[in-house]
Amino acid sequence: MTDLIRDLILRWRDDPAGTYQSWFLWDERLKNFRSIRRGLQQVVAEVTEGTFGVAYRGSSLETVVHSIAEQRQIFKGADHAFLWKPKLRIPDIYENPANQKAFGQLLDTCLCCNTEEHVVSAIHAIDARKIKGLGPAVANLLYFLHPTIMPPFNTAIVKGYNALTGSKVKLGRREEYLAMRQGILKLNATYRSLLSNDLGAIGGLLFDLGSGRYTAPPLEDDETARKLWEADLHQVREQSAKETRILAAEREMDHTHTEIQGWLRDLGLSLGYDVWIAANDRSRPWQDGKLGDGCLSVLPGFTTETQGAESVRLIDVLWLDQESHKIVAAFEVEHSTTIYSGIVRMLDLALGSEAQALEGLFLVAPDKREADVREQLRRPAFRRIADLKVRYLPYGALEKDREAIRRFGHGLKPIKEISHLLEVVQ
């Protein structure tokens, strides 16, 4: 059985359409940790101040949960557990002030603590209140606070765990989730060399098992069952090869996130700016070198003590004045994901002490995404966005005019001319 699970993991890790490569190794997943933590801090602050309100729609919690659910590779439908069901009066954290405070306390404790003991103790404390409708789906919030302690949770993950281990974990019961968590930790310890300390990896494996992409190895030592399972694994390999060809064809027809960053890098350098590339993107291959070639290796003015520095270093592209070393323009490339993380990073920059010279904040996205961007910006969490004068820069305009701007442009004026203000009506 151990060898079969190892074979399964190795095959799953090589699957371009499986959750390991499409989600766990996805750079945007790593960027989301910071923004989701910040969003949960906002939820706690509003609960503490009594300003959270009595509705899920339009709340700071909706914004955070939506940013998780947008990671559709594994969290599609994650918002369902938090949606208000009026006929059932659940989950009972909106209309019941005491339950709302208990929920806020759970998040606050987990935001502040670093140990497994404290996290599990906080879960037991809220479980003792028996809050209607507030089940183990909360683990999806806690995963983004403590990815080495709390595995993600959904129906497919439970099904995958049961199939792989022969367990009978039931949905909706937090004590069963905690028991499953112990089993997941043991599995992860056994195969850690193939997985990760981050429990998102094994969570993704269980998700792909539970969603039917892969079949779990037979629990019994049955030669016939083993051969049937190996045949299923081979079939998935063939299907994955087809999906890989389709994905490659789609990429050839579309601009990649890295390509847009490369355009902005080259354009910034041509206009006489120093350029900063997101810290986790600098080593990406681009043209005949790396994306960070010719760019700053240290971001001036942002030390480890600077508030929001970690977030600002993850902004896709920054242009800096060569003499003052101040940031002049910031660009977030929103290729196909939620804009939540990018907006949070821009807020960290624009509201910080290093923003005095800032002349432009740009969301760079496919032409067809503008309506989606405007819809996202209507969220209460972004109510200050109008003050920041964020501009929308479509891929099409950048592709069409970047060469002319590079040759004849000066300063930010030509970039502003091909973009436009995102004036959002609330």
Answer whether residue 317 is part of any domain.
Answer: yes
Do 111 and 49 sit in the same domain of this protein?
yes
The answer to whether 340 and 67 are in contact (CB under 8 A) is yes
pLDDT tens-place values along the chain, 426 residues long: 568 899 999 989 988 888 999 899 987 788 788 888 988 999 999 999 999 999 998 888 988 898 888 888 899 888 888 998 988 899 999 999 999 999 999 999 999 998 999 999 999 999 999 999 998 889 999 999 999 999 999 999 999 999 999 999 888 778 889 999 999 999 999 999 999 999 999 999 999 999 888 888 887 766 676 666 666 666 665 566 555 555 554 444 446 888 999 999 999 999 999 999 998 889 888 888 999 999 999 988 776 666 667 778 888 999 999 999 999 999 998 865 556 667 777 777 877 666 566 888 999 988 877 777 777 776 665 666 666 778 889 999 999 999 999 888 888 999 999 998 876 555
Residue with tokens 């503008």: 370
Q: Count how many domains the chain has.
A: 2
Boundary residue ending a domain (210, 239, 266): 210
Instruction: Show the domain range for 91.
Output: 2-210
Dihedral sign for Cα atoms in the order 314, 316, 320, 322 = positive
Answer whether residue 12 is part of any domain.
Answer: yes
Tokens of 185: 């930790």
Residues 6+ apart with CB under 8 A from 324: 357
Answer whether residue 231 is part of any domain.
Answer: no
Answer whether residue 354 is part of any domain.
Answer: yes
Bridge partners, residue 390, by sequence: 361
Do 262 and 146 sit in the same domain of this protein?
no
d(CA 94, CA 150): 25
Do 385 and 268 sit in the same domain of this protein?
yes
Q: Is the previous residue joined to 218 through a cis bond, with omega within 30 degrees of 0?
A: no
Do 272 and 402 sit in the same domain of this protein?
yes
How many beta carbons lie within 10 A of that of residue 329, not counting itself?
A: 24
How many beta carbons lie within 10 A of that of residue 32, not counting itself?
A: 22
The structure's pTM equals 0.69
Residues 6+ apart with CB under 8 A from 178: 120, 123
Do 194 and 273 sit in the same domain of this protein?
no
